[in-house]
Amino acid sequence: MSVADDDADDHGGHHLPAVEDWPRGFGEASWWPFITALGASGIYVGAALFVLGRGEEPIVGSMVGPIAAVASVAVFLIGLYGWTYHAFVVNFWEHGTESHGGTGLKFAMLLFLGTELATFGAGFVYYFFVRAGTWPPAGAELPHLVSGLVLGNTAILILSSITLHFAHVALRRNNRDRFIQLLGVTLLLGIIFVGGQILEYYEFIVNEGLTISSGVFASAFFGLTGLHGLHVTMGAILLAIVLIRGVYGQYDAERHTSVTTVSMYWHFVDVVWIFLVAVLYFGAAATL
């Protein structure tokens, strides 16, 4: 029997996207995080090439940046799939992850959130430099940023953190039905939030004429809120995966590592949004 057949037998006939010992000699070291990081880095390179392709004397072609960004997003998603597959999905067949380094996975999530904090921090530093100059920026007409839609969306995201917390509490008490119900509510609230942000973009772009090329504030605004929206969307996908696994009975009071790590990610995204609203929305509107 081949190695591939052994893998299939060990995991319910489901083939892994890569063998455990790859690259050779590295034991169980995973190469998927490096693929993910390569794709994420390429997104920034694509954004830089997009800027270099604009203006009166572009350095590169106008389509080089968008093509590089799209290709990098594809590499990023492939790497993210392989990474999460090895970390969580493959353990579906073993009915949990605790026997496969649950503590290590939680620590890995903390390290990942550290990189996310640095990414958002870079965007906030850019905004702070913009905000330190003449305000509002010369020639810029800022729209009314603080609205009922923003406040409602913020309340929805905060509520989603509360429902997710109590869903986790219910799981630890082996109340699986309540866990699934509250997790479903959390996912629904996340989807509503993304829909609210899309509506907000529509109002700014169509009704207010504010686009990412409208000036330095617009670039900071759409860059930060768009980055956060991407993270919420990714979080909603993770919640959906956890919900499906929960419905199939893959979690209990002793087996819930992926629930914990996804909760850590979701709570982080919520905290970033609160800080973003305070700094970007209320802060930008403070002296208008």
Please report where in the chains the tokens 């996310």 appear, as a residue. 116
Q: Does 40 reside within a domain? A: no
pLDDT value for 143:
73
Residues 6+ apart with CB under 8 A from 21: 27, 28
Q: Does 261 reside within a domain? A: yes
Bigger pLDDT: 155 or 210?
155
The residue-averaged pLDDT of 136-164 equals: 85
Dist CA 272 CA 145 (whole Å): 18
149-159 pLDDT per residue, tens: 999 999 999 99
Decide: residue 114, CB within 10 A, 0-12 exposed, 13-18 middle, 19+ buried: exposed
Q: Does 94 reside within a domain? A: no
234-262 pLDDT per residue, tens: 899 889 989 988 898 888 888 888 888 89
Number of independent structural domains in the chain = 1
Q: How confident is the model at residue 89 (pLDDT cuts 50, 70, 90)?
A: low
Decide: residue 168, CB within 10 A, 0-12 exposed, 13-18 middle, 19+ buried: buried
- Domain assignment of residue 130, given as a range: 102-288
Q: What angle do CA 280, 281, 284 make, to 5 degrees?
A: 70
Q: Does 30 reside within a domain? A: no
Is residue 179 pLDDT above 90, yes or no? yes
Share of the chain above pLDDT 70, in %: 78
Q: Does 194 reside within a domain? A: yes
Q: Does 276 reside within a domain? A: yes
pLDDT value for 7:
44
Give me the torsion for CA of 131, 136, 140, 144, rounded to 10°.
Answer: 100
pLDDT value for 100:
46
Bigger pLDDT: 232 or 55?
232
Q: Does 48 reside within a domain? A: no
Dist CA 280 CA 220 (whole Å): 9
- Write the CATH number for 166: 1.20.120.80
Q: How confident is the model at residue 29 (pLDDT cuts 50, 70, 90)?
A: low
Q: Does 149 reside within a domain? A: yes
Residue/partner pairs of 193-201 with CB below 8 Å, 24 or more apart: 193/153, 193/156, 193/157, 193/160, 193/232, 194/229, 194/232, 194/233, 194/236, 196/149, 196/152, 196/153, 196/156, 197/153, 197/225, 197/229, 197/232, 199/149, 200/147, 200/149, 200/150, 200/153
Share of the chain above pLDDT 90, in %: 27
- Give the residue among 12, 17, 20, 75 at the shortest CA–CA distance from 42: 75
Q: How confident is the model at residue 136 (pLDDT cuts 50, 70, 90)?
A: low
The residue-averaged pLDDT of 4-32 equals: 48
The residue-averaged pLDDT of 192-221 equals: 86
Q: What is the mean pLDDT of the chain?
A: 79
258-276 pLDDT per residue, tens: 888 899 999 999 999 999 9
Residues 6+ apart with CB under 8 A from 143: 204, 208, 210
pLDDT value for 152:
95
Residue 50 corresponds to which tokens in the numbers above? 């997009």
Q: Using an 8 Å Cβ cutoff, are 230 and 193 in contact?
A: no
Is residue 40 pLDDT above 50, yes or no? yes
The residue-averaged pLDDT of 118-141 equals: 76
Decide: residue 171, CB within 10 A, 0-12 exposed, 13-18 middle, 19+ buried: buried
41-87 pLDDT per residue, tens: 888 788 888 878 877 778 888 888 889 989 988 998 888 778 777 76
pLDDT value for 273:
95
- Give the residue among 147, 94, 63, 117 at the shortest CA–CA distance from 257: 94
